[in-house]
Amino acid sequence: MSEGVSVKISPSILSADFAKLGDEVAMLEDGGADWLHIDVMDGRFVPNLTFGAKVIETVRKRTSLPLDVHLMVLEPERYFDDFANAGASGLTIHAEVSPHLDRQLTRIREVGCAAGVALNPSTPITAVEDVLDKLDLLLIMSVNPGFGGQQFIRRSLDRIARARRMLEAVRSPAVLEVDGGINRSTIVECWQAGADTFVAGNAIFAAANPKDEIRTLREQCTHRA
């Protein structure tokens, strides 16, 4: 990948003010977000509990941006149809709870969504090596999933670099996304390591001006080491 390759910023609505979710979505779109990241948590795969199809549907009505849905749930296949119907653009499932990745990724494409796999910080990158042809997105978790506002795990940089090499080896067009602890400084290193798509929650919503922050995050990704 070289300079000029498109960088995507995918703000996570997990850090939004839910009392005014519609306004927050409009603000993110106006601020230049490329995608919106929607964190679905079931209180079982991860300790936290968030939301489901109803919120995806609500967000869908307020924006035409692609909805990047991250499923931190057991048995994610139970939700593919509902979430696709609610307006999800991509569905990303966790390798740790997806013993039939080949079948599950095929099914995500069948329901009309981009098929993604997320890997926890302790999961070997090779977990997706044999399904690369079915993969539209690879998500490297740079925190242990469950909560916004956690600290970036630095070992993730080497994992991003290895993931990029693995995708390049088969000329995969898959998006390489990173999620967790992304801010003005960590985004630069992730970009240099080979990521092209960046989830950010706390960095955007805790900023004095969230719209400016989206632009600032994107501007960090202009130079390669």
* Position 58 contacts ligand DX5 (CB under 6 A): no
Q: Cα-flanking dihedrals φ and ψ of residue 162, to 5°? A: -70, -40
- What string marks each residue from 108 to 147 as x (binds ligand DX5 by CB under 6 A) or -? -----------------------------------x-xxx
* Position 8 contacts ligand DX5 (CB under 6 A): no
11 contact partners, CB below 8 Å, separation of at least 6: 28, 33, 36, 37, 199, 200, 201, 204, 205, 210, 214
Rg (alpha carbons) of the chain, rounded to whole number: 16
Tell me, yes or no, if 39 is annotated catalytic.
yes
The residue among 33, 14, 25 whose CA lies nearest residue 214 is 33
Tell me, yes or no, if 82 is annotated catalytic.
no
**Toward Zn ion, which CB reaches closer, 27 or 178?**
178
* Position 12 contacts ligand DX5 (CB under 6 A): yes
Contact set for ligand DX5, span 148-177 (CB under 6 A): 148-150
The CA-based dihedral angle spanning residues 34, 195, 5, 38, taken in that order and rounded to the nearest 10 degrees:
-10
* Among the listed residues 24, 34, 39, 136, the single contact to Zn ion using CB under 5 A: 39
**Toward Zn ion, which CB reaches closer, 39 or 213?**
39
Q: Is 199 helix (H, G, I), strand (E, B) or coil?
A: strand
* Position 94 contacts Zn ion (CB under 5 A): no
The residue among 104, 105, 123, 214 whose CA lies nearest residue 162 is 123
- What string marks each residue from 55 to 84 as x (binds Zn ion by CB under 5 A) or -? ---------------x--------------
Q: Encoding tokens for residue 14? A: 């997990």
**Judged by CB under 5 A, how many residues of this single chain contact Zn ion?**
3
* Position 39 contacts ligand DX5 (CB under 6 A): yes
Q: Could you tell me if 196 and 160 are in contact, meaning their C-beta atoms sit under 8 angstroms apart? A: no
* Among the listed residues 66, 90, 180, 194, the single contact to ligand DX5 using CB under 6 A: 180
Instruction: Report, as residue numbers or ranges, the catalytic residues.
Output: 39, 179
